[in-house]
Structure 1
């Protein structure tokens, strides 16, 4: 799915009116209906009092149409129209007239003392500003948002939380529990800095012109199940272990051999035919008792790797998990990088070593996948002021070193040169020890099967997150562990296969 700018979204709205021969009022009604259907499915108590805070623009108009729909369905709803501007959009004014005619309770507010007592309401629906906001909120709108945030009430934002900028850092906005956004993903909704404002984000289809969306150009994408299913290769009836690729997992040190076990099993469960684990003394005993399907090469003389040398020819390599940063290990890592030409994914201590020796980054094969969490990223690219500054620095980094960077976290980002993919799957359950090791193994397994590096990165990140999504009702997120990810990989493949059969 394309992620588009506020200007592009306005253009698509206008093109929808032209291409589909619908009025702007009809488009507003479509948007309001999409929100309404989401709302009545989630909130079925019609006695709970609802206050819709609407503005003077089209987002305010959306809110007023929602009020009309809820009122006609028997919900207890009232509109507070916040007059932060002396002019209303034509569609907003039209729907105010309709609301009056339908006896929807309306209150008009232009001064702080006129703001109603929010304690009288169970739910506040935010429809003050839309995606077009380009200046700091002030005056009566600021006062209303401040009181909303202080109210302790459930706040639901229509399209975007009011006050949130689409293309720069935001310091003040509505702190929504839910954001129901219209059809086109907006990058600002998925940035960590904006988490206090966005809450849970849901996309709803409002019937925008497919042709108009297709015409829009972008380097940013929100990846969902159908995108990942389209990348999946068919499994030949004549496949055997020799045709499905050989992944090598390098890592481990004293007390950290479990990371290699997790990554190795994840690689095999992701579909590669053979996996070899390369690690320190004792790895054979640990891996053999837990995961006998893997082959093992171990450094028999040390609790950490002092050399990385092998005579096998893997198709892809995952390195760095549990590796440690002993001086001898760092030297071995350098020698390995100097001679390696295979597809590569680097994680954990591999990243930490690279951050101490940034000149070694030039040794990485083109398309190497790096998988830092935020702290590891800061060691690689330096600190940042906010998410937009961070993204600028990431783009500079991946241009200087032609790597693919996966920034792990909620809505993990995959950055490949100018292109950014924001991932849709995953829950906080993935914040558990070994989760990153499993991801490294999954990426290595996909690389070994011959997937292009960017496809392997995108598929692994989505599938990794999806394992948590699908277990929410049977494994509490607090109890979810890394081996649960591995156990669910096959079920995620079933989902992707089913998606392909549907389309």
Structure 2
């Protein structure tokens, strides 16, 4: 699904009106009706009392249509116009007249004294500003937003939280509980620094013209289940372990060999036919007894890797988990990179070694997948002032070295230098020790099966997130551990392949 800029969204709106021969009021009604459906499904009790704040633009018009629909459905509704300007859009002014004609309780807010007490209301609907906001919020609008944020009420924002800039850093905005955005996702809704504003993000279809959306050019996408389904290869009836790929997992040090076991299990569970774990001598007995499906190779080092040396020819390699930062280990990794061109995924201490020796990044095979968490990413690209700069710096690194970065987080981003894919699966349950080791194992297993690096990264990240979505039905997020991810990979595949 395409993620577009606010200017592109305005163009799609205009093209929808032109190509489908509808009025702007009809498009506004479509949007408000989609919001209304979401709201009435979430708040089923018609005794719910609702206060709606509308601005003077088209987002305010949407809010007023929502007020009319909820009032007709039997909800207790009061609408307030936040008059930060006396210049109303035509469609907003039209809906003010309709609200008055239908005797819906309605008032203007011109100064602080006009802001109502929010304590009697159950839910606040925020429709003050939309995606067209171009300057920092001030004046009476800022006063209303502050009152909303201090109220402690559930807040549902229409399209975007008021004050949130779709395409640049936001300092002040409504802190929504839910954001119901209209059909086209906005990048700002998925950035970590905006988490306090956006709450849960829901996308609703408002009938925008599909051809107009298709014509809009972008390099940023929201990954959805349907797209991952289309990337999956069929499993042949005649498949065997020799046709499904061989993954090699390299890592471990004294006290940290469990990470290699997790990654190896994840690689095999993701569908590769064979997996070999390469560890220091101290880790071999544990993995041989704890994970009998894996083959094991021992390094000459007793407690950490000293020389990466093997005879087999794997189809993909994952390296770095639990490996440590010993100088001997770092030099072994350097020699490994100089000699091997096998499809590669690098995680954890492998990334930290590269951060200490940035000139070694040039040794990585084209299409290598790097899977940093925020601190590991910071060591690689330096500090950033906001998430937009972080993305630009990450793209620059990906372009310079021909690599793919999986920037891990609530909405992990796969950045390959040309395109950015924002992942939509997963829950906070994944914030657990070993989760990243499992992800790298999954990606390595997909690489071994012959998926292109970008595909392996996208599928792996989405499947990884789906395990938490699925397991959430029976495992509380606080109790979810990395092994639960592995145990639910098969369930995630089944969900992906289920016929709708």
Q: TM-score range by the shorter chain?
A: over 0.9
Quote how far apart the aligned CAs of 1:139 are.
Answer: 1.0
Question: Aligned partners of 1:234, 1:389: CA distance in 2, in Å?
Answer: 39
Kindly provide the CA deviation profile for residues 460-503 of structure 1, in whole angstroms up to 9, marking residues without a partner as x: 000000100111121000000001101111111112212xx44x
Q: Distance in 2 between matches of 1:282 and 1:389?
A: 43
Aligned runs of 1:100-111 on 2, under 5 Å? 100-111=100-111
Q: Secondary structure at the match of 2:53?
A: strand
Aligned to 1:125: 125
SS at match of 1:133: coil
Distance 2:380 2:453 in 1: 21
Partner of 1:433: 433
Is 2:201 aligned against 1:201?
yes
1:248-327 map, 5 Å: 248-299=248-299, 301-327=301-327
Q: Matches of 1:232 and 1:219 in 2, distance apart? A: 22
CA drift of 1:300 comes to 5.3
Worse overlay, 366-375 or 465-474: 465-474
C-alpha distance in 1 between matches for 2:284 and 2:22: 67
2:219 maps to: 219
Classify the secondary structure of the residue corresponding to 1:37: helix
Q: Select between 285-294 and 187-196 the one with higher mean Cα deviation.
A: 285-294
Q: Structure 2: any 5+ residue segments left out of the alignment? A: none
CA distance in 2, matches of 1:325, 1:362: 20
Structure 2 equivalent of residue 95 of structure 1: 95
Q: Could you tell me which residue of structure 2 aligns to residue 388 of structure 1?
A: 388
Spell out the pairing of 1:290-369 with structure 2 (5 A cutoff).
Answer: 290-299=290-299, 301-369=301-369
Listed one character per residue, the Cα deviations across residues 6-37 of structure 1 (whole Å, up to 9, x for unaligned) are 00100010111111121111111111111111
CA distance in 1, matches of 2:350, 2:182: 41
**Aligned residue pair count:** 500
The match for 1:170 is 170
Report how far residue 301 of structure 1 moved: 4.4
User: Deviating runs (4+, > 4 A) in structure 1?
Assistant: none
Cα displacement (A) at 1:167: 1.2
8 Å Cα contact 1:283-1:296 kept in structure 2: no
CA contact 2:344–2:444 (8 Å) conserved in 1: yes
SS state at 1:478 partner:
helix
**How far, CA to CA, are the matches of 2:393 and 2:88 in structure 1?**
40
**CA distance, structure 1, for counterparts of residue 18 and residue 87 of structure 2:** 25
- Structure 1 residues 266-323: Cα deviation after superposition (integer angstroms, max 9, x where no partner): 0001000000000011323211222111100012541100010000000000000000
Cα distance in 2 between the residues matched to 1:38 and 1:366 = 45
SS in 1 for 2:213: helix
Matches within 5 A, 1:398-437: 398-437=398-437
Check whether the contact 1:282–1:300 (CA below 8 A) recurs between aligned residues.
no
Equivalent residue number for residue 32 of structure 2: 32
Residue 75 (structure 2) aligns with:
75
- Unpaired stretches in structure 1, ≥5 consecutive residues: none
Conserved 8 A contact 2:254-2:283: no
Paired residues of 1:260 and 1:277 also in contact (CA < 8 A): yes
TM-score (structure 1 length as normaliser): 0.98
Q: CA deviation at 1:429?
A: 0.2
Corresponding residue SS for 1:67? helix
Distance 2:23 2:248 in 1: 59
2:479 is paired with a residue of what secondary structure?
A: coil
Q: CA separation in 2, counterparts of 1:434 and 1:344?
A: 19
- Which shows bigger deviation, 294-303 or 477-486? 294-303
Task: With the length of structure 2 as denominator, give the TM-score of the two structures.
Answer: 0.99
Q: In 2, distance between residues paired with 1:335 and 1:395?
A: 27
